[in-house]
Amino acid sequence: MSEQDQHHVDRDEEATFSINRRRFLQGSSGALLAAGALGPAFAHAAASGEGSARSGGRQASNGQEFDFGNGATAPEGVSSVPASATGRPMPDLEQYDPVAPDERLGWAVVGLGDFALNQILPAFGNSTHSRLAGVVSGNADKARQVAQQYGVADSGIYSYDNFDEISDNDDIDIVYIILPNALHEEFTVRAAQAGKHVLCEKPMAPSVEACQRMIEACRDNDRKLMIAYREQFEPHNLAAIKAIRDGMVGDVNLLSVNTGVSLDPEEPSAQWRLNKALAGGGSLYDIGIYALNASRYLLGEEPTQVFARIHSREDDPRFAQVEDNVAFQLIFPNGAVANCTSSYSTPKNNEASVFGTKAWLRMAPLSNYYNHWLIVDDGNQRIEPSIQEIDQFAAEMDHLSRCVQDDTAPHASGEEGMQDVRIIRAIYESAATGEMVSIESDYERDPNLLITDSPNLPDVWQQSDS
Ligand code: NDP
């Protein structure tokens, strides 16, 4: 083996080690697992705390103090700090710089389901410009309980029937719609007519026509409309976009983006997803949209053609109304091809690989709630940047709050949401006809929009170069 080959092997081993170590440290039981791998004696020490500094490694049993200082004159700041309890300067704020509650915009969340309660409401705790001021639900007991848990006043609780009275509530500026897909249109229109700005969950709506009506309602009422593409604020995804735009991977010719989850029809959140009238479609609308949207923002271009196949097993009653497996190809103007899949019959997965002439880039997962992972590999060297996770839900909500406060356009506009729905309809048409389908659209977005002045873009590539 040449010295160069040996070097490559060493680099690969180093890279593999660093990945394993990072994943390992992310696990909650890391310490004990590590100890287990290093042998039973160490495992025992880790579990019992023996040998740690805390267990008294440096403090003598008779209380005698040891001084390991070297006797030099300490810097001014070190010697002048009082030994008694005292106030200290404001630390540098790494991630959160919250404004006072009365300067934040008030939000009402519509639909208190799985996603709203497990991800979105807790995220208000990490937001800097948004606060929860209202809840809207068809279940009055649940609404009261949640309002109590989050300190929402009784005057901020609404049902679907009296939702329009929200127009009288000056404490609420923005309405976040987290309902089944087919209900997004009705509540976006009602919210805009009530004078509220709107964040609407993906997919925007089942049809392009419904998306158009939502855009018009917000425009007619001079309200902002944003679609909740949280991954467009997620730092690993932003770092990937930056790497591609900066030419780190060369010219991109191929992408492979896959999404899957296994739906249990006993779960309430799966029941509407398997009902066409509420979901609009199956795995493609629900999770294939992540593959579609990521292909578009990673390449920074709009596909011009699609080709697709759809397959659902005939003996699986879950798919009486909506599709299970979808394989679709997006063809981009420069010739690049994205091969994408979505499925409701596989253990949870979502991942993206981008193949360029100089390197390939991989995100696995691509768009989970947490625990993202990004690598770039040029065949010889692998870079795995260290990127801190953020609360992407808080980041997207704060983005819209800032857009309202500064009167700027949200990154993920209604037109951005409508473009995905337009392409989804073309994918269905291709699967139904067996033909390649052209996408008729003049939608375009600045390919650098998501990474220009983004507070969530990590400064990792310079760090890796140095
Ligand atoms: P759930 O089924 O868990 O919650 C939906 C809620 O909508 C219900 O709890 C109910 O709230 C309300 N609702 C009103 N009418 C109906 C109806 N006819 N059938 C069912 N529910 C109804 O769904 P999810 O929270 O998983 O999904 C909601 C939306 O959020 C979807 O658009 C989905 O695509 C999106 N989503 C986005 C994610 C992301 O990462 N961006 C992740 C997960 C979902 P109540 O009881 O309060 O009236």
Pick the residue whose CA is nearest to atom 8 on ligand 1: 113
Return the C-alpha torsion angle 5, 8, 12, 14, nearest 10. Answer: 120
Residue 15: its pLDDT value, please?
40
Of 19-23, 130-134, 215-219, 276-280, the one with minimum mean pLDDT is 19-23
Can you list the positions of beta strands (E) in 57-150?
105-110, 130-136
Q: Name the packing angle between helices 30-37 and 3-26 (round to 10°).
A: 130
Ligand 1, atom nearest to 116 Cα: 25
CB within 6 Å of ligand 1 — which residues? 111-116, 137-139, 142, 178-181, 183, 201-202, 228, 230, 268-269, 272, 278, 286
Predicted confidence (pLDDT) per residue in 212-269, tens digit: 999 999 999 999 999 999 999 999 999 999 999 999 999 999 999 999 999 999 999 9
Pick the residue whose CA is nearest to atom 4 on ligand 1: 113
Ligand 1 center to 99 CA (angstroms):
30
Residue 183: its pLDDT value, please?
98
Judge whether residue 184 has pLDDT over 70. yes
Question: What is the edge-to-edge ordering of all strands in the sheet holding 225-227?
Answer: 157-158, 130-136, 105-110, 174-177, 197-200, 225-227
**pLDDT mean over 37-53:** 35
Pick the residue whose CA is nearest to atom 9 on ligand 1: 113
Pick the residue whose CA is nearest to atom 31 on ligand 1: 180
Residue 65: its pLDDT value, please?
83
User: Which of 201, 285, 420 for mutating ligand 1's site (highest number of atoms within 8 Å of CB)?
Assistant: 201
Which residues sit opposite 259 in a β-bridge? Answer: 342, 350
Ligand 1, atom nearest to 110 Cα: 47
Predicted confidence (pLDDT) per residue in 354-367, tens digit: 999 999 999 999 99
The pair phi, psi for residue 448, each rounded to 5°, is -100, 0
Ligand 1 center to 446 CA (angstroms):
31
**pLDDT mean over 376-394:** 96
DSSP structure string for 124-182: GGG-SSEEEEEEE-S-HHHHHHHHHHHT--GGGEE-SSSGGGGGG-TT--EEEE-S-GG
Pick the residue whose CA is nearest to atom 30 on ligand 1: 178
Residue 32: its pLDDT value, please?
31
Ligand 1, atom nearest to 367 Cα: 40
Judge whether residue 14 has pLDDT over 70. no
Q: Where does the pLDDT of residue 39 fall: very low under 50, low under 70, confident under 90, or very high at 90 and above?
A: very low
Ligand 1 center to 400 CA (angstroms):
21
User: Which of 109, 110, 114, 274 for mutating ligand 1's site (highest number of atoms within 8 Å of CB)?
Assistant: 114
Ligand 1 center to 22 CA (angstroms):
34
Q: Where does the pLDDT of residue 44 fall: very low under 50, low under 70, confident under 90, or very high at 90 and above?
A: very low
Residue 80: its pLDDT value, please?
94
Torsion sign over Cα 322, 198, 259, 368: negative
Residue 95: its pLDDT value, please?
72
Ligand 1 center to 228 CA (angstroms):
13
**pLDDT mean over 298-304:** 98
pTM: 0.86
Judge whether residue 464 has pLDDT over 70. no
Q: How many other C-beta atoms can be found within 10 angstroms of the C-beta atom of residue 219? A: 13
What rounded mean pLDDT belongs to the chain? 88
Ligand 1 center to 269 CA (angstroms):
7
Residue 85: its pLDDT value, please?
96
Annotated catalytic residues are 202
Please report which residue ranges of 251-316 form alpha helices under DSSP H.
268-271, 276-279, 283, 289-299
Percent over 70 (pLDDT), the chain: 86
Residue 61: its pLDDT value, please?
62
Q: Where does the pLDDT of residue 198 fall: very low under 50, low under 70, confident under 90, or very high at 90 and above?
A: very high
User: Which of 115, 161, 366 for mutating ligand 1's site (highest number of atoms within 8 Å of CB)?
Assistant: 115
Predicted confidence (pLDDT) per residue in 88-117, tens digit: 999 988 777 889 999 999 999 999 999 999
**pLDDT mean over 10-29:** 37
Judge whether residue 424 has pLDDT over 60. yes
Higher pLDDT, 5 or 155: 155
Judge whether residue 271 has pLDDT over 80. yes
User: Which of 177, 178, 183 for mutating ligand 1's site (highest number of atoms within 8 Å of CB)?
Assistant: 178
Which tokens hold the place of 92?
Answer: 């540098």
Which tokens hold the place of 237?
Answer: 């995804």
Ligand 1 center to 268 CA (angstroms):
9
- Chain centroid to Cα 111, Å, comes to 20
Residue 37: its pLDDT value, please?
32
DSSP structure string for 295-310: HHHHHTS--SEEEEEE
